[in-house]
Chains A and B, each alone.
Chain A
Amino acid sequence: MMVQGYFDSLDSMHASGASILKEIEDYKRELTAFAEGQNDAASFFPKFQESGMMGKFMDLSAKIALAAQAETAAASGEKNRKPLATPSEWLEPFRTAYETIKDYPIRERGLSVYRRLFEIGEKHSDITEFLLEVEKENLLWKISSEDTLGILEIQLTGMDPLYKGLTYATRKNIEAWDASVCEADIHYYQDLLSEDIAKTSPRLLQKEHFVSCLGAHLMVYRGPNGKEGIMEMIATGNCPRHKFLGNASNMVVAKLQARRMMDIIHKNLGLRFEDIMADEYLRFKLISSSNVYALSKAYVESNSNLLDILADAFYHEILPDISLSDAIKRETDVQFGRWRMPQGREVERAGDLARKAFRDLPYSRYEDQLQGGSIRVGTGDGFEINLRPSV
């Protein structure tokens, strides 16, 4: 059991006195109840810290050390006095925790704090001197904060940095953990963040929702249920009148709807079509795409020319409102070929290409530990839990 290390650490300090012994027993009961309520070993330590249990452990350790020092002073000269806990004994539960996560590179920032803690432990034989140096670097807080920051920063490398509606929460969490010096601090920032993220992340997506609406109309106008479908019917001679007229009607309606949505976008967001096309992120919202790698790091799309095809239709057919016949006829003047939606094998291939392109990213190294979307973390007692990346 992971908490056993904490019990051993307290026991190793050889506390005496009814009052403090009762306090230790109360703490052990409380810690046992707390541990039984946790089913995720990977998040045990952050929760241990956030819940105040870590603070109590520190407090109790300091008290025992203080009492022991007093006892030592009072009993100076006595041969059978109880020894103070050494930093090495005190660090025992931290070694257990370190062993649990040491094989996971994603935890490197947290692991480096543990190693620093052990390094300081090696230097000192006196517990108070040891705690003094630990406090100078605020290492007990950094076990949680650095571990969390390391994971969040690795997750961020698996995200599309232009997709601000997605990255906002992670970036803000990083800022919060970076600014915090203790558990009350992170509670404060996370309370504020819960509101900020609820307000801001969806707002960052609103502009692209308008653009996606416009894009959907352009796709209908230009796609298999519109212009492309008509051209295929004419080319192949397989041209049922009802289907032909249906596609022509779709072109008309999609054109009207695209013009109206462009008008809404211009009036309400101040964006013209050329502004959308000039925006590295926003223009791709005109076409439908699916994420094929990591946390929206790569997308599969119909064709690398599709944006130009849609822009051509918008500028030369929809905006000037040319007739359907003229729209079909002008296809001779443009260089665009045929396109289609990606098929299953191509989606897989897109994922492979993305994986290869991003193989050096920290996220990719982290992904190597994923098995079916989660990390298996052994807790050292035969129990395993999944650590899923949170977005």
Chain B
Amino acid sequence: MDTTKELYGLYVRRFCNCPRTPYQGEYYQKWLDLLYACSSNEEAEEKSKQNGLYTAGAAAVVKDRLFAGKLAAEKMGWTDVAALCDDILQKVEADPYYPFTHVSLWSDLDALKSGWIKTIEGFHRLFEDFLEFDDTRTEPDRAISKMTEDLKMLSKPSSDFATLASMPSFRALVDCSDEYYKEFTDTVCKAVSTRRLDTIFWDTKPYQGEIEELWNRRDTLKNVCRRWYSQEVEPPCVRLSPNTPEGHYKLIDID
């Protein structure tokens, strides 16, 4: 019996020391108390059957998983996920077999979580759409179409882009100055509300003289260009990454 007590003592230590497993900690502590209160394993078993401890182990595992999910959700501000974890926890308290008769509870939880993740992914995509557009400020219809599609990914904590964009946690998703962030958010809002975006017309007219001059001087540039053209085409190379973040790339010509 001493070995059993020592074994259950170790279970207690592991689960009570872990902030995510209070239910298993409590379960093993009850077993340990029972073992100390009894003079034999048989007596402990009999009593555990009477007080329900005998069959409480599996429910403790599930409750800890739900508790851990609730803790994580609360830390991230995922209120609906935390509330559902809490709700299921109460149901498991009332019926230890609930998780095994309602197996869809895990997919229900995953569906709720995915709304939060998709919103973050959608916000990132919108910034990429904006950067792609802002690079040249051309093809506004393509940008509007992509933004419209990616806006559909937003749902939690709000489906409204402007509301999300004003939140510090979403501002932190984008690595740029406040001025550029404002340009990003204004551009997306404008795309949504007006279906129009400010473009740049890359006018080469002011350079026509320069372009014509190049055309007219092509004969005088012939020797330069021939010298360049007579050179061997250099081979492509392979760039090998280092094995540590402090290392350097190594370039090897492909012969």
Contact = CB atoms under 8 A, between A and B. Distances in A.
Interface string A325-349: 1001101100001111111001001
Interface string A166-191: 00000000000000011111011101
A232 B232 contact: no
A191 B72 CA distance: 6
Given A184-B65, A339-B234, A66 B44 contact: yes
A275 B124 CA distance: 25
Nearest to A210: B131
A207 B68 contact: no
Contacts of A338: 228-229, 231-234
Interface residues of B, number: 98
Given A129-B3, A132-B10, A249 B204 contact: yes
A138 B222 CA distance: 77
A215 to B, nearest CB: 11
Given A135-B14, A195-B76, A206-B176, A354 B214 contact: no
B162 interface: no
B72 A267 contact: no
Contact of B14 (A66, A181, A202, A209): A181
Contacts of A135: 7, 10-11, 14
B140 interface: no
B235 A303 contact: yes
Nearest to A232: B229
Contacts of B240: 297-298, 353-354, 357-358
B58 interface: yes
Contact of B61 (A56, A66, A129): A56
Contacts of A257: 135-136, 202
Contacts of A46: none
Nearest to A357: B240
Q: Which of B42, B120, B214, B215 has the most CB of A within 10 A?
A: B214
Interface of A: 19, 23, 30, 52, 55-56, 59, 63, 66-67, 69-71, 73-74, 126, 128-129, 131-132, 135-136, 138, 157, 159-163, 181-185, 187-189, 191-192, 194-195, 198-199, 202-203, 206-207, 209-210, 213, 216, 230-236, 239, 241, 244-245, 248-249, 252-253, 256-257, 261, 264, 267-269, 280, 284, 289, 292, 296-305, 323-325, 328-329, 331-332, 337-343, 346, 349-350, 353-354, 357-358, 361
Interface of B: 3-4, 6-7, 10-11, 14-15, 17-18, 20-21, 24, 40-45, 49, 54-55, 57-58, 61-62, 64-65, 67-69, 71-73, 75-76, 100, 113, 116-117, 120-121, 124, 127-128, 131, 134-136, 172-177, 179-180, 202, 204, 207, 210-211, 213-215, 217-218, 221-222, 224-229, 231-245, 247-254
**3 nearest CB pairs, A to B:** A70-B42, A235-B229, A191-B72
26 contacts: A23-B55, A59-B61, A67-B41, A71-B42, A73-B40, A161-B244, A162-B242, A183-B61, A185-B18, A191-B113, A192-B75, A194-B117, A195-B116, A198-B117, A202-B121, A202-B124, A210-B131, A297-B241, A299-B239, A302-B236, A302-B237, A325-B221, A328-B221, A338-B228, A338-B229, A349-B254
